[in-house]
Amino acid sequence: MSKLRLATVWLDGCSGCHMSLLDIDEALMGVAMKADLVYGPLVDAQEFPKTVDVTLVEGAVSSQEDLEKIQLVRQRTKLLVALGDCAVTSNVPAMRNPVPVKKLLERIYVEGADVHPGVPSNGVPKLLKAAVPLQDVVRVDLHVPGCPPPAGTIAFVVGELLEGRMPELSGKVRFG
């Protein structure tokens, strides 16, 4: 039986959801037996592959780069999972939403700078007006809340998906 193609994506998040994924410890062996990790911050691949069975996405969509990435990921992924509160609700990244982007950047890079004040423009992704959850811009097949979701929950979710079942999460997850 061919292995399932699994990817993980890190958008505007703190990496805590990826850390929680690594915390599934010995269950990682079971994942490795059934799936190939084809993309993500834990592997070397530079480009998102053309076909992926399951992609776990951490973080909100905050920049133009995030937006283009998640749209590409959606096109190439059969089953897309919003992993963690930032992906599900935009959570922490959304704390900047009440402040207009221009004002936010000036406060940080001009008023807040001790040396070389100036908003960076070279090689820096353009911020969207607001950080938004994945479901605002692409279709999401499964939401897994938590900040981060506990390792046991992630192990359950991935285990079920690898068996070809949609995890039943009612009563098993919570925000925060």
By the criterion CB under 6 A, which residues form the site for ligand SF4? Answer: 13-14, 16-17, 58-59, 84-86, 91-92, 147-148
H or E element at residue 131: strand 127-132
What distances in angstroms separate CA 62 from CA 14, 42, 92, 93, 113, one per listed residue? Answer: 13, 22, 11, 7, 23
Nearest residue relative to ligand SF4 (C-beta) = 16
Considering beta carbons, is residue 137 or 151 the nearer one to ligand SF4? Answer: 151
Shortest CB 115 distance to ligand SF4, Å: 30
Q: Are 21 and 47 in contact (CB under 8 A)?
A: no
Closer to ligand SF4 by CB, 4 or 17: give it.
Answer: 17
For ligand SF4, the closer of residues 5 and 143 by Cβ is 143
Query: From CA 15, how far away is CA 17, in angstroms rounded?
Result: 5
Peptide bond into 148 cis (omega under 30): yes
Query: 4 vs 153, which CB is nearer to ligand SF4?
Result: 153
Closest contact distance (angstroms) between CB of 74 and ligand SF4 is 19
Closest distance to ligand SF4 from the beta carbon of 136 (Å): 16
- Nearest approach, Cβ of residue 99 and ligand SF4 (Å): 19
Picking from 73, 89, 78, the residue whose alpha carbon sits closest to that of residue 138 is 73
